[in-house]
Amino acid sequence: MTVAKRAHVYPQVALAAADLADVAVVVAPAAITVADALARVRKRNAGLLAAGASHVLRDDLVRAASLGLGELRAVEIARSLPAVDPGAGETVLRRLLAAGAPLVTVRSARSIRGAVSGRLACLGVAEASAAGRVSRSLPGDVRELLKTIGRIAEEHDGRAYLVGGLVRDLWRGAPIGERDLDIVIEGDAPTVARRLARVLGGSVVEHRRFLTASVTARAFGRIDVATSRSERYEAPGALPRVLPAGIGEDLRRRDFTVNALAIELSSGEFGLIDRLGARLDLARRRLRVLHPLSYVEDPTRIFRAARYIARLGLSPDPATARAQALALRLVPYPALSGQRIAAELERVLGEAQPGVILAGLGRAGAFRLLDPGYRFTATSRRRLAELPRALAWARDRALEVDAVGLAALAIVGDRPAAAARAALARLGFAGGPLATLERAHATVGSLASELAAAAAPSERARLLRGRAPVELAWLWLTGERAVRETLDWFTGLDSRVVTLSGDDVVALGVPRGPAVARVLAEVRDARLDGTLTNRAMEEAHVRQWIAKGG
């Protein structure tokens, strides 16, 4: 047995990148397909493919193959990985991995020697304290609630984490308004949710397929409690299959790094978990997907990205832009339901700048998810930019307009009737609502022309009377100044423009039945045209109508 000598100075072991490389690399031609590349890395037991000047992770090849993209060129899902010399020190590696790099390649002057992952000595796991931010930004009762959730999870052999936009905004220092809490449990989330509901005197709804539950409590609103999980997508655009997993896998399944932050609750210390470089991305105002096929797995993330870009002032990094372009090139997505797109449109309309966001989505080609042949025109851009004003106009006039329906018309307004109908139906419109939108799409041009040609106010009112609110709003959105002025006049008309009632005209001698409506319509038109101006003239008109035999 060898015993260390007291006061003896022992040499320190300094590990270099070449010593820490734990991922094998296989070289392939730049034109290799996903299927062939995956076969090659499996044969060599490699974790990284070097195809020409590009680098493709084995995990991404597996993901692409599972999505049925075996014929895709592997370089189309390449990643930009940092590179170091073989002699680079551990500190450099830690910094690069903490910034969110999945691997760091080790290169000599002539060739790639291997790659370093974050598995060794927990490299790439960036931890910090969020206690100060929690204390400054969250009310005392919410802080105590979070501690209670952590304690309940511990009592049920689990660990609790606060996740989602609240964590992101806490770290950004953004104002925190009233919002729902998103909790992830390493363990049995439904059991924790049921216990929490009892403690708070609230109710709970479980969603077993997704391993989640929602607790509603009067004092705190809704608290979403989810089992920490991984996801597997079996087709592009399909809903994923979920399996329980650790918090690391749960964070890696999310859409963007800035949403992949967590605050642990079980210790009560509010430690921040950032394993993917979210803090650095927030500091740089950068939006970054977690892998190249993120948008292919879930194309609705394209809409979410547009919202975050506008709301948070972020810019997509080049890899994220390439990932979006790839996803849009692979349309259509048969497994993607139109209702999910409609839900994303509704969320966009709830943002502060919906017109800007929708116009940006149009320029990017996102509406090809509705119609692969879609082309974004200058007219569509102008209508989408004006859409918030049209919705505000409708609200000011107490018109109950389906905002998503009006947005859908603005998107497909330039499309032929058949293509517009297919896109509207894909968004989930059916029956009467679909027929109304189709009529609005088909008749808006002719209606505007008829209004322009109408000589009398009563004629203009007849053209607009009976139109659905969304038809009036669509006409306002597409119309020129004269049309908008006519709509302002029509929607501002007093419902009591005629002072006589049905009983009044019956008392004057009009028989009950259809004749009552006919004579009142005549009186109304005459009032609109100014030929009748008071009640006495209305009564005289009715007597004259009776005298002429109706």
The per-residue pLDDT for 120 is 54
- In the predicted structure, residue 86 carries a pLDDT above the cut 80: yes
- In the predicted structure, residue 207 carries a pLDDT above the cut 90: no
Domain 17-121 identical in fold to domain 126-282: no
The per-residue pLDDT for 121 is 41
Question: Which strands make up the sheet holding 48-51, listed edge to edge?
Answer: 25-28, 48-51, 54-57
> Which CATH superfamily, name and number, covers 17-121?
CBS-domain (3.10.580.10)
Question: What CA–CA distance (Å, rounded) separates 36 from 73?
Answer: 9
Least confident of 156-165, 404-413, 528-537: 528-537
The per-residue pLDDT for 2 is 53
Torsion of CA 49, 55, 59, 60, to 10 degrees: -120
pLDDT, tens only, 474-494: 999 999 999 999 999 999 987
Average pLDDT over residues 57-64: 97
Average pLDDT over residues 79-97: 92
- In the predicted structure, residue 110 carries a pLDDT above the cut 90: no
- In the predicted structure, residue 524 carries a pLDDT above the cut 50: yes
Domain ranges of the chain: 17-121, 126-282, 373-396+405-491, 502-547
The per-residue pLDDT for 124 is 38
Retrieve residue 222's tokens. 């809704």
The per-residue pLDDT for 126 is 41
- In the predicted structure, residue 434 carries a pLDDT above the cut 80: yes
* Cβ atoms < 10 Å from Cβ of 90: 17
Of 254, 239, 211, 444, the closest CA to residue 337 belongs to: 239
Residue 435's identity, in one-letter code, is A
Question: What CA–CA distance (Å, rounded) separates 151 from 143?
Answer: 13
pLDDT, tens only, 335-344: 999 999 999 9
Contact 314, 285 (CB under 8 A): yes
Contact 93, 116 (CB under 8 A): yes
* Cβ atoms < 10 Å from Cβ of 315: 11
Of 416, 419, 408, 400, the closest CA to residue 384 belongs to: 408
Could you tell me the sign of the dihedral formed by the alpha carbons of 45, 49, 55, 59, in that order? negative
Residue 446 pLDDT grade (very low, low, confident, very high; cuts 50, 70, 90): very high
Least confident of 28-32, 267-271, 305-309: 267-271
Helix, strand, coil percentages, rounded to 5, for the chain: 50, 15, 35
The per-residue pLDDT for 180 is 77
The per-residue pLDDT for 52 is 87
- In the predicted structure, residue 254 carries a pLDDT above the cut 80: yes
- Measured over all CA atoms, what is the biggest interatomic distance in the chain, rounded to whole angstroms? 128
The per-residue pLDDT for 356 is 94
DSSP state of 127: E
* Cβ atoms < 10 Å from Cβ of 237: 23
Residue 58 pLDDT grade (very low, low, confident, very high; cuts 50, 70, 90): very high
pLDDT, tens only, 114-146: 999 977 545 434 468 899 999 999 999 999 999
Residues 6 or more apart in contact with residue 135 via CB below 8 angstroms: 143
The per-residue pLDDT for 123 is 41
The per-residue pLDDT for 335 is 96
- Is the domain spanning 126-282 CATH 3.40.50.720? The answer is no
The per-residue pLDDT for 7 is 59
Mean pLDDT in the chain?
Answer: 92
Q: Which residue has the tokens 């409506």?
A: 517
How big is the chain by its Cα radius of gyration, in Å?
32
Contact 181, 265 (CB under 8 A): no
DSSP reduced 3-state for 162: strand
Retrieve residue 206's tokens. 């479980």
Q: Is the pTM of this model over 0.85?
A: yes
Residues 6 or more apart in contact with residue 453 via CB below 8 angstroms: none
The per-residue pLDDT for 260 is 96
Average pLDDT over residues 217-236: 93
Average pLDDT over residues 21-25: 94
For the chain, the distance separating the N- and C-terminal CA atoms, rounded to the nearest angstrom, is 122
Average pLDDT over residues 260-283: 93
Average pLDDT over residues 410-438: 96
Contact 67, 293 (CB under 8 A): yes
Alpha helices in 397-491 (DSSP H): 403-412, 417-426, 431-453, 457-464, 469-478, 481-491
